[in-house]
Amino acid sequence: MKKISNIFLSVCLLICCSCESVLDKEPITGYSYQNFWNEPAQASAALNGAYFRLQTTLNTEFITYGEARADNLDVKLYNAGTYALANNTLNADYAYTDWGNFYRVIGQVNLIIKNVQEMKAKGLYVNKDAEYNRILGQALGLRALCYLWMVKVWGNVPLVTDPVEYDGDINAFKRTRTDTLQVYNQISTDLLRAQPLLPASYTDNRKTRATLTKGAIDAMLTDYYMWRNKLDSALITSNRILSNTTQYKLANLYDSSIDFFSKPHVDIDNTEYAKMFIEGFSAESIFEIAFSYAEGTNSGLASLFGGGSAVVFYYVHPAFVSIFSSTDLRLRNNFKSESQIFKMFPKGTFDRAKENDKNVILYRLADIILLRAEALVLKGDLNGAWTLLKRVRERVFGVASATNTSNNNLTGPTGSTTESNFKAMTIADAHEVILEERRKELCFEGKRWFDLVRTGKAISKMESINGLKSQENILFPINLNIIRQNPLIEQNEYYK
The DSSP code sequence of 197-236 is GS-S--SSHHHHHHS--HHHHHHHHHHHHHHTT-HHHHHH
**How big, in percent rounded to 5, are the helix, strand and coil portions of the chain?**
50, 5, 45
Sign of CA dihedral 22, 28, 30, 31: negative
Question: Is 225:234 a contact under the CB 8 Å cutoff?
Answer: yes
State how far the Cα of 153 lies from the Cα of 141, in Å rounded to an integer.
19
Sign of CA dihedral 139, 141, 146, 151: positive
pTM for the predicted model, two decimal places? 0.95
How far, rounded to the nearest angstrom, does the alpha carbon of residue 456 sit from its chain's CA centroid? 20
Q: Which of 262, 352, 252 is nearest to 299 (CA)?
A: 352
Residues 6+ apart with CB under 8 A from 61: 96, 101
Q: How many CB atoms lie within 10 A of CB 408?
A: 19
The CATH classification number of 1-75+90-198+474-496 equals 1.25.40.890
pLDDT of 240: 98
Q: Which of 98, 12, 88, 86 is nearest to 304 (CA)?
A: 86
What amino acid is encoded at 409 in this protein?
N
Q: Domain 216-455 is of which CATH architecture?
A: Alpha Horseshoe (1.25)
pLDDT of 432: 98
pLDDT of 105: 96
Question: Is 226:435 a contact under the CB 8 Å cutoff?
Answer: no
Residue-wise pLDDT tens digits, 37-78: 999 999 999 999 999 999 999 999 999 999 999 999 999 988
State how far the Cα of 490 lies from the Cα of 496, in Å rounded to an integer.
9
Question: Is 135:40 a contact under the CB 8 Å cutoff?
Answer: yes
pLDDT of 24: 61
Please, which residues bridge with residue 360 across strands? Answer: 289
Please, which residues bridge with residue 31 across strands? Answer: 9
Q: Which of 381, 379, 383, 371 is nearest to 435 (CA)?
A: 371
State how far the Cα of 441 lies from the Cα of 218, in Å rounded to an integer.
20
pLDDT of 35: 76
Residues 6+ apart with CB under 8 A from 67: 73, 443, 444, 445, 446, 447, 448, 449
Question: Is 104:91 a contact under the CB 8 Å cutoff?
Answer: no
pLDDT of 164: 76
pLDDT of 33: 59
State how far the Cα of 390 lies from the Cα of 419, in Å rounded to an integer.
9
Question: Is 119:42 a contact under the CB 8 Å cutoff?
Answer: no
State how far the Cα of 219 lies from the Cα of 454, in Å rounded to an integer.
16
The DSSP code sequence of 12-50 is --PPP--TT-SS---S--EEEGGGSSSSHHHHHHHHHHH
Q: Which of 486, 476, 393, 467 is nearest to 433 (CA)?
A: 393
Sign of CA dihedral 217, 357, 365, 129: positive
pLDDT of 34: 64
Q: What are the sequence ranges of the domains in the chain?
A: 1-75+90-198+474-496, 216-455
Residue segments in the chain with a per-residue pLDDT below the cut of 50: 1-20, 27-31, 168
Task: Count the alpha carbons within 13 Å of 128 in the hemisphere toward its beta carbon.
Answer: 20
216-455 and 1-75+90-198+474-496 share a CATH fold = yes
